[in-house]
Amino acid sequence: MAKDLFAKFPHIESDDLILRKIEPEDLDGLCAIYLNETIFRYIPGKVYKTQAAVSNMIGHFERDFGKRKTIFLGICLAAAPEYIVGVAELFDYDKAVNMVTLGYRLNEDYWSQGIAAMTVRLLTDYLFNEIGINRIQAFVMPENVKSHAVLMRNGFHKEGTIRQGALWTGKGIVDLTEYSLLRNDKNA
């Protein structure tokens, strides 16, 4: 029997990374992500215009957790836990099916260092072992080669491409490649 994903806010640690609640003091790290147009090339949404808009988002993160909609986690290096280098998301939780969707975005200065792959590994371990989730899924634009590699390195199975199947803010109608990982895939 799975635990309730929203019963308590997760705090997940490894020797290399910490995934934790995002606080108002994380504004500089968030701005490095949400004010960077390059990061929004392959994710839904539009780049934010001001630091005030990014600051306002922190309250929305708290609200979305309270509404049981989305969990936003700050990705921090264990050596510098006070600075967010990325944001991980858990959303579209379906208790009846026992599945959740994950997403992630990193500050461009931290790309190609294995941080996204470590983040996905930490999230999948937490979701399978602590919560008891059965299915984790992710959706990636076909052009986002690095994100495909992150998921494949973590054992996700490519299920196929959903052609013109999603409306992403700032992108319009997009194709998405769907990946999934089942709890018994990890044990196989």
CATH number of the domain where residue 105 is located = 3.40.630.30
- Within-domain flag for 84: yes
- Within-domain flag for 173: no
- Within-domain flag for 109: yes
Range of the domain at 112: 12-137
Quote the CA–CA distance of 14 and 145 in Å, as a whole number. Answer: 26
pLDDT in tens, 141-171: 999 999 999 999 999 999 999 999 888 877 8
- Within-domain flag for 161: no
Q: How many domains does the chain have?
A: 1
- Within-domain flag for 27: yes
- Within-domain flag for 83: yes
pLDDT in tens, 63-83: 999 999 999 999 999 999 999
pLDDT in tens, 82-98: 999 999 999 999 999 99
- Within-domain flag for 145: no
- Within-domain flag for 57: yes
Q: Is residue 81 within 8 Å of residue 20, measured between CB atoms?
A: yes
Mean pLDDT of the chain: 93
